[in-house]
């Protein structure tokens, strides 16, 4: 157990639907990162939050949004789902002050999303 908790582990939904993925960071970590892993795109950075504020944005679609709550857990919302959104979505957290990553990330075990 890495200390980063992601729920649900698996999610199957239909095209056009909306889903919410949840992440609880490791205790004491202020930064949360979301990544998408697919066979064709590899690991793609989506977005980072640090202590409740958006810190960096990557290749995140407009149909996707995220937020970090006061208790530091984060949610990734995916809407108007398409077949191509099927992927493994990882959350990671880090302890570094200022949102940096010098200590490396701790990854959760991911949510496997299948859009049918």
Partner 1 sequence: AQSVTQLGSHVSVSEGALVLLRCNYSSSVPPYLFWYVQYPNQGLQLLLKYTTGATLVKGINGFEAEFKKSETSFHLTKPSAHMSDAAEYFCAASPAGGTSYGKLTFGQGTILTVHP
Beta bridge partners of 7: 22
Helix (H/G/I), strand (E/B), else coil: 85? helix
Cβ proximity to partner 1, 38 vs 79, nearer residue: 38
Cβ proximity to partner 1, 8 vs 58, nearer residue: 58
Q: Which of residues 54-113 bind partner 1 (CB under 8 A)?
A: 55-56, 58, 90, 92, 94, 96, 98-110
Q: How far apart are the first and last CA of the chain?
A: 30
25 binds partner 1 (CB under 8 A): no
DSSP code string of 1-12: --S-EEE-SEEE
Beta bridge partners of 114: 12
Binding interface with partner 1 (CB under 8 A): 2, 4, 31, 33, 42-43, 45, 48, 50, 55-56, 58, 90, 92, 94, 96, 98-110
């Amino acid at each position: 157990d890495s200390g980063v908790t992601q729920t649900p582990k698996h999610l199957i939904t239909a095209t056009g639907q909306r889903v919410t993925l949840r992440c609880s960071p490791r205790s004491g970590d202020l930064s949360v990162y979301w990544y998408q892993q697919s066979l064709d795109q590899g690991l793609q950075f989506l977005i980072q939050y640090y202590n409740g504020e958006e810190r960096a944005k990557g290749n995140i679609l407009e149909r996707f949004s995220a937020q970090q709550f006061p208790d530091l857990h984060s949610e990734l919302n995916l809407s108007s789902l398409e077949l191509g959104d099927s992927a493994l979505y990882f959350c990671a957290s880090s302890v570094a002050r200022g949102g940096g990553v010098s200590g490396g990330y701790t990854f959760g075990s991911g949510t496997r999303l299948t859009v049918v």
